[in-house]
């Protein structure tokens, strides 16, 4: 068991180094869009999800790149970076597949069921990543999956609390639908070996 633990930790460290450039882009893109949005008077935010409105449909895929203010993007950046890194350990193709699935499911559920208003930010996708990593403890059962799932639970357990209504202006529905999307993606991954 100690040998498995050492091997898994080595894999995590090696893959993190390999994925450093990709992780840089994962952070760079929303920050670049945030600065462009600010330069244009936050006009880009209209591309978020507006529930049950046809013009809100593109937001299903665009909303995760849009953030309302500095605190919003700053506090999304750390879990986005860490959880993306954990998922990239399974490869870039896997990461892209699960990101698209989580983004679509959570965004579509927000569009169908969330309260009226504009929904933006990467929180739904981040919550989906978290749920998927925790689900993978059961789904994969490998030492690496267990380590990544436990680290996700320990350091980002507060993500789970985001599924409950709290502060005004925070899309708790996005967090809830992200959680559902992450679990659904875990099942799809198990069924179709993504």
Closest CA to 103 of 170, 177, 35: 177
CA distance 57 to 62: 9
Average pLDDT, the chain: 94
Q: What are the respective helix, strand and coil percentages of the chain, to the nearest 5?
A: 75, 0, 20
Confidence of residue 135 (pLDDT cuts 50, 70, 90): very high
Q: Residue 162: pLDDT above 90?
A: no
Range of the domain at 71: 2-192
pLDDT at 192: 83
Closest CA to 69 of 96, 45, 95: 45
What CATH number does the domain containing 134 carry?
Answer: 1.20.1540.10
pLDDT at 193: 78
CA distances from 158 to 29, 75, 80, 127, 161 (A): 25, 12, 14, 10, 5
Location of structure tokens 């882009």: 25
Asked whether the whole model's pTM tops 0.85, one would answer yes
pLDDT at 167: 74
State the total domains in the chain. Answer: 1
**162 vs 51: which has the higher pLDDT:** 51
């Amino acid at each position: 068991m100690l040998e498995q633990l050492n091997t898994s930790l080595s894999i995590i460290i090696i893959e993190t180094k390999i994925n450093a450039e990709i992780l840089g882009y994962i952070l760079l893109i929303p920050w670049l869009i945030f600065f462009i949005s600010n330069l244009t008077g936050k006009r880009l935010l209209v591309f978020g999800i507006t529930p049950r409105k046809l013009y809100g449909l593109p937001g299903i895929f665009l909303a995760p790149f849009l953030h309302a203010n500095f605190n919003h993007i700053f506090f999304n950046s750390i879990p986005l970076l860490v959880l993306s890194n954990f998922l990239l350990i399974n490869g870039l193709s896997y990461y892209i597949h699960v990101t698209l699935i989580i983004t679509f499911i959570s965004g579509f559920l927000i569009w169908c069921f969330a309260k009226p208003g504009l929904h933006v930010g990467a929180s739904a996708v981040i919550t989906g990543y978290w749920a998927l990593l925790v689900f993978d403890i059961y789904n994969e059962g490998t030492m690496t999956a267990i380590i990544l799932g436990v680290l996700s639970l320990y350091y980002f357990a507060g993500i789970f609390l985001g599924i409950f209504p709290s502060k005004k202006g925070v899309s708790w529905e996005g967090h809830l639908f992200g959680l559902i999307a992450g679990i659904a993606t875990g099942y799809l991954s198990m069924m179709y070996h993504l």
